[in-house]
Structure formats: structure tokens, C-alpha cells
Structure 1
Amino acid sequence: MPELTAWEKEEIDRANASGRTPVVFVHGLWLLSSSWKAWRELFEGSGYTTLAPGWPDDPPTVEEARANPEVFAHKMVQQVTDHYLAAIAELARQPVVIGHSFGGLIAQKIAGAGAAAVTVTIDNAPFRGVLAVPLSSIKSAAPVLGNPANRGKAIALTFEQFQYGWANNLDEDEARRLYDEYHVPASGVPLFQAVVANVNPFHNEVTVDVKNPDRGPLLVIAGANDNTVPLAITKGTFAQQEKNPGVTEFLEIPGRGHSLTIDHGWAEVAQEALAFVDRFAPQPE
């Protein structure tokens, strides 16, 4: 069983003591769990309790992450998923799960395991069965995939790479602010796992059980102008998830890129997620 940190256990205890429906936030590559701070405040103010576990060995701050990039290396999709499942197993109530980018993929793996009451996936990384490979996503991933040796490393993006992959719809001042405030190195492994998902049927961790009847309601949110996860990928995600007998909805947000959870327009996205959660999340009696 993956080992939870002391602060993660404290968040779990706080959620259980609240008696409220918990919302678990799952971050993706190049961010830390602190990137969900504004979302957590919104959901807490709307009657939920929240927690945002990290990936295994995540440093607590951006400064420490940049000083010790090697801690991110070798993190794999199932290892991270198991870490979140271990946290969820300690909750008294089945949670809502919200994830962005690779966190959106992991949120869907959690839902496919029957461990989520409601799921929101935002500009999620592709999984097995999602076949689209748009040119912009290839260019966005090139800083990692361009060198096979990066599979075993932690890779940081340059500001120019961050601008293209994350902040292509923002002015340079905001892009620079987000890069300075949020960007950290990331494991190269998940991108290599995703790129071979449709050609390697064995030991494939980038797989989602889309047919589990216990998956629960799921919303796929897409930033229409995302270079890292273009619409073709999120629409492919929706097409796969529609195979589930449960509620599956798709929402396209115009003019938004991969930074949509942390940039100046984050609240628009968060309010859409909250509205879906309010419709379907079980409420304490």
C-alpha cells in the first residue's frame, strides 16, 4: 500500500471530521497540488470539504521542487493512481474527483475503479483507445519525447515551451507570472507511457475502464485552444466514456488553453465543474 505523508493524512482526517462530501483534486505534470488552492476555496465555500494529495515524493513548495528536480523522476501512471486510491480508501465518504491533464487521466482511472462518486476531467492526457495525435500535442510533448533518455529523468520546460504548450492564449506577462509561480519539473515516464498506449497491449498503465457501471457521472471539460491536449483528444475521451451506462457529458470552453485551471479565467472553469458536481454529488443527510 502506498505510504501517505503526514500532511496528506491530516487532510484526510480533516475531511472525515467535517461530515461533508469530499472533493479530491488531482494535479498533472509540471504542477504541484498547491495549484488547486483557488479551486479548493471555491468548493469549500460551496459546502464541500477538499483535499489535494500530491504525487509520491512531491516537494511541498515550488522552490523546493526546483531545487530538487530529481525527486520527480521515474514516477509512473499506476504508481500515482495507487497513491490517490490509498488516500481515497481512508475517506469516510466516496469523493468527487477532479483532475487536470495527467491528473484528468488519473481521475478517470479512479472512476473506472469504482472509487469516485462523481468525476470531472479537464484537458486530460489520452489513454488507450483515444487515437488522435494532433501535431500541436506532438510539439508540446517534444521537450520530453524528443530524447528517449528523458524517460528516466525529471524534465523542466523552458519559458518558451511553457508558452506554447500552456499559455498560448495568454499575454506574455501572465504567461511569465504563471511560469514563475507554478511550473516545476515533471517525470518523463507518463508521456512515454501515453505515447505507446495504443500499440502496447501488455503492462499498459494508461488504460481506463470506461464500462464499469459503478463509474458514476463524469464530465469532460475541454479548452478549445489547448495545444497540449487539443480538442481531438478530449472529444476522443468523451467518445470512449460514452460507452458507460452512466451520465457522461462534454463541455467545450472557447478560447482556453492548457493553463485554464490556473490562469485568470480559472473561475469560469471551476464554476462549470461545481455546477456538475452540485447536480450529482451525494449530499450528507
Structure 2
Amino acid sequence: MKTTKPKTIVFITGAFVSSDCWNEWKLYFEQQGYHILVPAWPYKDAPACTLRQRHPDADVAGQRLTNLTAYFAAIVEKLPEAPVLIGHSMGGLIVQLLIQKGLAAAGIAIHSLQPKGIFTFKLSFYKAGWAALGFFTDTRKSYLMSFTQWQYAFTNGMSFEVQKEAYYNLLVPESKLLVRDATTDAAKVDFDRPHAPLLFLSGSADHFIPASLNYANYKKYTHQQSVTEYKEFAGRNHFVLGQPGWQEHAEYILNWLSKI
């Protein structure tokens, strides 16, 4: 019996950035015939400059992974078909959590934050993300990444002008508690259970989520009858969605979707 491939894609944004990071991706996949949804996170449905003006934002600071996952699950459950989910960083983790719930036809985790129980000893991972955890600071106040931190964690290897433009166009305040939740049961995945096709994409130059961490995440999935694939791209940093050449990733995803 021939099955109809899903034509709906839901993009799930990561932490620290506006959902505007998907603007060009949205246009690209719409031109390929897909219906695209790009839901803003709760308390973040505004331009990045407006959200920074609200910092410290108590509503953003109170965001937790369980609530955020439920928010996206509710959006997906209302759709007429199980969609393709494409998420970046924290959004990639949410993609994995929604696939656990059987809510997706397929998932793509781009430079994904790791589920509970997966670790790395790469120094860059801790240098890039330590401040966002906000230890010994007031968790009722949101966290706002400095430009220096942005240069190291997101846009390393890019020109100063591009780094600056991306920072002012996309950077938003974040919840310290949300970042910490990645180490709790809120981020737990049962790697042995059947799941929809799942693709991991990583970048060799990513300081925030090293390729080795993505590969360790991929290798945890053990169900033999489920499709799980991995691809590392050379020279890609954590700003992969806006890094010049992002189309290579989009084309790879499009080709992968056509084969599953």
C-alpha cells in the first residue's frame, strides 16, 4: 500500500534566538511545496530587539522544558497530519521528545542539544554554555548572552560584521532553568523504543554542541527497525541556520525526506 509523504513541516527554534532564524528556511521549503509552521516560543512572539528591551523578563525566566515540550506537542496534535519536525539545538532536543510521543512523521535534529544521560568532555561545550546555566545567580531573571559569548558559542569563524548583524537581529533573553532542564527527566529519551525516521546533522566547528556530542546522541538509538541517520558537515558552527551555505543543509534534508 502506497503511503502519502507528509507535506507539513514544523520548525522548532532553539534557545537564545528568535524564531526569525528560520525565515530563509521557510521560504526554501515553501518553494518545494511544503506547508510551513514556525511557532514562536511562549513569551517570545516579538522582534528580537523588543524581547531584549524586556530583559530581565520574569516570564521568559520561568520557562521550563516540560512546559515548552507540551506547548509544541499541542501545536502538532492539532494538525491534520503528522508533520516533519525540524529543530535546531534545544529545538532538536524537543524534536526527539516529540518523536518519543509518536507525534511526527519524521524528525531532523540540527546540532541538537543532548537528552539526559549523554555527556561530552569537550571544553568548548562547557565554555560556550556555562554562563547560560546561571549558577549562583537569580533564576527569576532571564539570561542574556553577551556579544563576546555569542562570538564564541554561535558565530565563531565568521566576520565581525556578520556576527554583529546576527546578534542584533536574532539574540533574545533565555531561561536559566530551561537550560538546566536538559540534565533532568524532562529531557529523558527511551532510546530502545521504535520511532519515526530521525536524522542528526552536526558541524565540525560547532563550539556549543560539538559534533562528537551529536554523534554520541545518534549512537544511543538502538531500535534496529527504525531509521536513524547521521551527517557531519565540515566547517559549520552553531549559527548553521544563518551561516553562508545553509542551503547545503536544506538540500540534504530535502533529499533525505524524499527517500524515507
Task: In structure 2, list runs of 5 or more residues that go unmatched.
Answer: none
Task: In structure 1, list runs of 5 or more residues that go unmatched.
Answer: 1-18, 198-203, 281-285
Q: 1:220 maps to which residue?
A: 200
- Contact 1:114–1:212 (8 Å) recurs in 2: no
Q: 2:97 maps to which residue?
A: 109
SS of equivalent residue, structure 2 residue 107: strand
Q: 1:235 maps to which residue?
A: 215
Shift in alpha-carbon separation, 1:133–1:74, aligned structure 2, 3 A:
farther
- Contact 2:6–2:82 (8 Å) recurs in 1: no
Q: 1:76 maps to which residue?
A: 64
Which TM-score applies when normalising by structure 1?
A: 0.84
SS of equivalent residue, structure 1 residue 205: helix
Which of 2, 17, 23 is matched with 1:31 structurally?
A: 17
Q: 1:8 maps to which residue?
A: none
Which of 52, 63, 82 is matched with 2:38 structurally?
A: 52
- Contact 2:49–2:169 (8 Å) recurs in 1: no
Q: 1:5 maps to which residue?
A: none
Which TM-score applies when normalising by structure 2?
A: 0.92
- Contact 1:100–1:122 (8 Å) recurs in 2: yes
Identity, % of aligned pairs? 28
Q: 1:269 maps to which residue?
A: 249
Deviation at 1:91? Answer: 0.2
Which amino acid in 2 is paired with 1:42?
Answer: Y
Q: 1:21 maps to which residue?
A: 7
1:248 aligns with 2:223: no
Shift in alpha-carbon separation, 1:159–1:60, aligned structure 2, 3 A:
same
**Alignment root-mean-square deviation, CA:** 1.7
Shift in alpha-carbon separation, 1:259–1:85, aligned structure 2, 3 A:
same
1:89 aligns with 2:77: yes
Q: Distance in 2 between matches of 1:232 and 1:254?
A: 13
- Contact 2:61–2:174 (8 Å) recurs in 1: yes
Shift in alpha-carbon separation, 1:242–1:224, aligned structure 2, 3 A:
farther
Deviation at 1:133? Answer: 3.7
